[in-house]
Structure 1
Amino acid sequence: MHGETRLPRNGREGILFLLIISIISVNTIAPIITGLERGFSKEVYLDTLKIIPFMWIIVILSVRLIAGPIVGKLIPKFVGQSDGFNARILLNTLLNVTVLSIILSIIGTWVGTKQISLEPFKNFFHIWPRNFGIAFWIELLVAQPIARFAMKRLHARQGRKAESVNA
């Protein structure tokens, strides 16, 4: 997928892409999950805003250190040469959200309750499917399309700039 305008082409763009996705994800997924756990109210939302910076750091580290390497090894086992962009993106999103939702269903509970306990393991099969579903649809319909649109716009601007220099 070299030359694909909807994806980052270098490390700097990769960081921007990750920042866009993670900021959107943490600011939507965490409040929705917390609201479902504790009820939707102004107080619950304000409490959620207090943990979002911590969750954002955890998400970034989890993506870079855990999900990225795991998904990077799995993708080639499932993707064929003839698979198109959308199929690759869907599989990548599915695998990333699966790994991250497993990790964050546990760690997120610890951060939200401000204590490490066995609670997320006891309730894992109750909370994980819900968390996965919320995260998957936010990623698929909101975060990923916005980040890909930003990359496409960035690459279009770079292309126009290169054309004007060459002209």
Structure 2
Amino acid sequence: MQEETRLPRNGKEFALFVGIISVISVNIIAPLIMGFKFGFHKEVYFNTLQMIPFVWVFVILLVTMVAGPIANKLVEKFTKPTDGFNAKTLFNILFNVTILSILLTVIGTWIGMGEMSLQPIQTFFYNWPRNFFIAFWVESLIAQPIARFAMKKSHARQTRKEKSVKTY
């Protein structure tokens, strides 16, 4: 069976893969969520940009320590070894986005407010569906495809290098 070229193969590639996805996601999802909540104004956008580095750190931590491991177990449970790459990828996105959107609907609000309060918990069922919807489509249609394309190009470059070394 041919090795999958759209996914990372080692720790360095994994860091690049997660980095691409998280930077794209945070820079699109956070401004969209804030825009829908407070209006699409310049001030809202610039306030959101100030919070993005803090949110990004939490996203990376939550992906690697919480959402990723849980999502991987759920993907194994809901797919079969014979299922294709796209099916497994879609389940992975679904589970990761569900977990992250639940956590970040609360934690992201705390970061944005600069304090921990009950407010994001009290408004959770109003905010979470919107946050999930935005995050799911950004991940499915923008962030993940770009990261997989970058992996594919990186692996193609590595293969070309290996072949050129073998010919000498």
What TM-score bracket applies, with the shorter chain setting the length? Answer: over 0.9
8 A Cα contact 1:3 1:9, kept in partner:
no
Deviates more, 1:17-26 or 1:63-72: 63-72
1:2, distance to aligned residue in structure 2 (A): 7.0
Q: Kindly provide the amino acid, as one letter, of the partner of residue 73 in structure 1.
A: K
CA–CA separation in structure 2 for the residues paired with 1:74 and 1:84: 16
TM-score, structure 2 normalization: 0.97
Other-structure match for 2:22: 22
For residues 2 and 58 of structure 1, do their structure 2 counterparts lie closer, same or farther at Cα, with a shift above 3 Å needed?
A: farther
Please list every run of 5 or more consecutive structure 2 residues that lacks an aligned counterpart in the other structure: none
Other-structure match for 2:45: 45
Q: Kindly provide the amino acid, as one letter, of the partner of residue 76 in structure 1.
A: E
Please list every run of 5 or more consecutive structure 1 residues that lacks an aligned counterpart in the other structure: none
Q: 1:72-151 residue pairs with structure 2 within 5 A? A: 72-151=72-151
Q: Kindly provide the amino acid, as one letter, of the partner of residue 155 in structure 2.
A: H
8 A Cα contact 1:29 1:135, kept in partner:
yes
1:139, distance to aligned residue in structure 2 (A): 0.2
TM-score, structure 1 normalization: 0.98
1:81, distance to aligned residue in structure 2 (A): 1.5
Deviates more, 1:112-121 or 1:99-108: 112-121
In percent, how many aligned pairs have the same letter? Answer: 61
Deviates more, 1:95-104 or 1:107-116: 107-116
| 1:33-69 superposed Cα distances (whole Å, 9 cap, x missing partner) | 0111111111111100100000000000000111012
Structure 1 runs of 4+ aligned residues shifted over 2 Å read: none
**1:159 has 2:159 as partner:** yes
CA–CA separation in structure 2 for the residues paired with 1:42 and 1:54: 20
CA–CA separation in structure 1 for the residues paired with 2:81 and 2:22: 29
Other-structure match for 1:7: 7
Q: Kindly provide the amino acid, as one letter, of the partner of residue 45 in structure 1.
A: Y
CA–CA separation in structure 2 for the residues paired with 1:121 and 1:49: 23
Count of matched residue positions in the alignment of Structure 1 and Structure 2:
167
CA–CA separation in structure 2 for the residues paired with 1:87 and 1:51: 34
CA–CA separation in structure 2 for the residues paired with 1:114 and 1:34: 15
1:72, distance to aligned residue in structure 2 (A): 2.1
